[in-house]
Amino acid sequence: MDTLLHPPPQTSSSSTSMAKRPCSSSSQNPRLPFHFSQMDHLLHSFLSFPDSSLPISLDLSFDRLLDCSPSDADQALLIDRAHNLGCLLLRAANRSARKRASLHNSVAWVLPPDLTIKVFSMLDSQSLCYAAATCSMFHKCAMDPFCYANIDLTTVVPKVNNAVVSTMIQRAGKSLRSLKLGIVPGTTGSPGSSQPLVYTIRNSVDVSNFSWNDKRIRQGKESSILTRTCLYPLSGDNGATGTLLRRLHLYNIERMDNASLCVALAACPSLLDLEIVGLHVELRQTLMSVSSNCHFIERLFFESSKTGGDESLKSPTCFELVNNCPNLSSLSLRGFKLHDCKVRILVKGFRKLKYVDFSTSYSITGTFLRNLGNGSGGDLLEVLILRDCMHLREMEVARFLTAVFEGDFKFLKHLDISNREGLASEGDWYQRSYNSSFIPLKQVSEVRPDVCLLAEFPSEGCFLDIDHMIDSDINSELSLPFQQSDHTYDGTMLTSSLDSNYNSDQGSGNEEYQDSGFVIYEESSDEVDFLV
């Protein structure tokens, strides 16, 4: 022990002979090879102490060494040296333990490295990180870019920062195929539900019971918040990283802006699936960027961060999107202020469209449903969701279902016209309808039992918050001529009241173009900036 803490000097011959003395122990320890060094023998002797007497022997030996030290400085130096040697010994023991565990795992783990990488590629991102921390063999397999082809860093509360995203994307390199980022609320609705996925850091926790010190601590966690530069790594390596990206889902990244999102989309020309929820970005600019860069896109899901607050979409943008992205089969624009004329451009223009969701869209009346089907667009529709569209009119829904009853929209499987405020009446949308007696739901269900019809309305005469709904620009609504209805269903009477011709657009007042020439008229609504 003394020799470990006080290395023998190499100047005198007597000290040299003393240094060689432990070598004679090799004859007493035949297990040690002859070529072992002095340090090997010292370490072996040290580790050979019996466990029962080792703590007492160490304490006594160390105290004697301290007592022999001539000054406080020497004693402090001796203590520091003991600490360093203990740390070095502990580090060597841990390293050897990991090496032995890795060797054991390589023998016990039955899968070869290529299949191990395949298994790891099926794990979610968090489980992959756990596996990588298990042993060096798993760590080596988990570093393969193929394991990071599908990165999912979505969380319920802010936990991920830009550095984590950058590291993951760099590990994936050109193998990156899917990227999901942001905060997803813990309870989400079922598929087809209009429950918003929008989340803000401000409403994520009840801070009323927090002290100022707690709030300062939370402010210090800003490093766990994604910023507008979190997608910059997609443009790295001269844009090669995002070239083959197929899926991009972004949820409630409050600091994302239009410019940063457009830069990211420009780096993803092979994008097939884009989902944007709760970002403070403008609908028009986002669709323009998609139209310019993502020509192969098949699914577009966009939910506004503020219901009814973005009416920036223009008809030319709709035409460009239709012409540049012909493969789009699923379109969801939720919570935006969309007019029927623009919606019709999209629904009729995308010939492969099968899934449509305009839930909580503020200005849709339903007139866009006219003149669909029979080869004029919308023939392949399988899912149509118009839940909680405040201006959706009862008469337009009845017209559409009559067309379904008469044999149009043969591929339709799911229709949702539920509204927590009831449907708007034909003459005055302030007058709400709380029952579906005028709508031929039962008749359609009998003729088309394969169609799932959802028509959930509040009870008759429930309270309607008109002040909340009046925020919409009523003057921009283009209404149909008033038609009186008795809210009773009779097959002959309904067909008569709908003029027996669903494919007529006369008097709709919602057209900005003629089907023959697609002439675009100047829109009255001004363009507004949505960024806060």
Contacts of 481 (CB under 8 A, 6+ apart): 507
Average pLDDT of span 279-296: 95
148 has a pLDDT exceeding 70: yes
Same domain, 448 and 343: yes
Same domain, 139 and 251: no
Beta pairing, strands 414-416 & 423-424: unpaired
**Would you place residue 433 in the very low, low, confident or very high pLDDT band (cuts 50, 70, 90)?**
confident
Q: Which residues of 300-322 are buried (b: 16+ CB within 10 A; e: fewer)?
A: bbbbbbebbbbbbbbbebbbbbb
Same domain, 384 and 411: yes
Percent of the chain surpassing pLDDT 70:
69
Amino acid making up residue 449:
P
Contacts of 177 (CB under 8 A, 6+ apart): 149, 150, 244, 245, 246, 247
Q: What is the CATH number for 262?
A: 3.80.10.10
DSSP per-residue letters across 100-138: HHHHHHHHH--S-HHHHHHHHTTS-HHHHHHHHTT-HHH
Q: Judge whether 261 lies within some domain.
A: yes
Contacts of 341 (CB under 8 A, 6+ apart): 315, 368, 478, 510, 511, 512, 513
Provide the pLDDT for residue 470. 43
More confident of the two residues 448 and 509: 448
**Would you place residue 127 in the very low, low, confident or very high pLDDT band (cuts 50, 70, 90)?**
very high
Same domain, 322 and 266: yes
Q: Of 67-71, 202-206, 352-356, which gets the smallest average pLDDT?
A: 202-206
416 has a pLDDT exceeding 90: yes
Same domain, 136 and 155: no
3-class secondary-structure state, position 275: strand
Q: Of 308-322, 395-409, 517-531, which gets the smallest average pLDDT?
A: 517-531
Same domain, 180 and 264: yes
Q: Judge whether 58 lies within some domain.
A: no
Beta pairing, strands 299-303 & 330-334: parallel
Give residue-wise pLDDT tens across range 342-352.
999 999 999 99
Domain C-terminal end among 454, 488, 514: 454
Same domain, 92 and 137: no
Q: Judge whether 219 lies within some domain.
A: no
**What is the spatial distance between Cα 252 and Cα 492, in angstroms, rounded to a whole number?**
50
Same domain, 411 and 450: yes
Contacts of 210 (CB under 8 A, 6+ apart): 218
| Residue 152 DSSP code | E
Same domain, 375 and 231: yes
Q: Are 379 and 403 in contact (CB under 8 A)?
A: no
Domain C-terminal end among 81, 108, 135: 108
Instruction: Record the tokens describing residue 478, joined without a space.
Output: 């283009």
Domain C-terminal end among 122, 147, 172: 147
**Would you place residue 195 in the very low, low, confident or very high pLDDT band (cuts 50, 70, 90)?**
low
Q: Judge whether 530 lies within some domain.
A: no
Same domain, 348 and 316: yes
What mean pLDDT, rounded, does the chain reach? 76
Contacts of 187 (CB under 8 A, 6+ apart): none
Contacts of 412 (CB under 8 A, 6+ apart): 381, 382, 383, 384, 404, 448, 451
Provide the pLDDT for residue 230. 93
Q: Which domain holds residue 133?
A: 112-147
Q: Judge whether 325 lies within some domain.
A: yes
Give residue-wise pLDDT tens across range 213-225.
444 444 444 467 8
Same domain, 229 and 378: yes
Percent of the chain surpassing pLDDT 90:
41
Give residue-wise pLDDT tens across range 214-254.
444 444 444 678 999 999 999 877 778 999 999 999 999 98
Give residue-wise pLDDT tens across range 502-514.
333 333 334 344 3
Contacts of 231 (CB under 8 A, 6+ apart): 165, 181, 260, 261, 263, 264
Same domain, 77 and 155: no
Average pLDDT of span 24-38: 59
Instruction: Record the tokens describing residue 331, joined without a space.
Output: 């379109």
Contacts of 435 (CB under 8 A, 6+ apart): 457, 460, 487
Give residue-wise pLDDT tens across range 60-106.
888 888 888 888 888 888 888 888 888 988 888 888 887 787 777 76
Provide the pLDDT for residue 245. 95
Provide the pLDDT for residue 187. 54
3-class secondary-structure state, position 174: helix
How many C-beta atoms lie closer than 10 Å to residue 262's C-beta? 17
**Would you place residue 329 in the very low, low, confident or very high pLDDT band (cuts 50, 70, 90)?**
very high
Q: Judge whether 18 lies within some domain.
A: no
Q: Judge whether 338 lies within some domain.
A: yes
Give residue-wise pLDDT tens across range 90-103.
888 888 887 787 77
- Number of structural domains found in the chain: 3
Q: Judge whether 419 lies within some domain.
A: yes
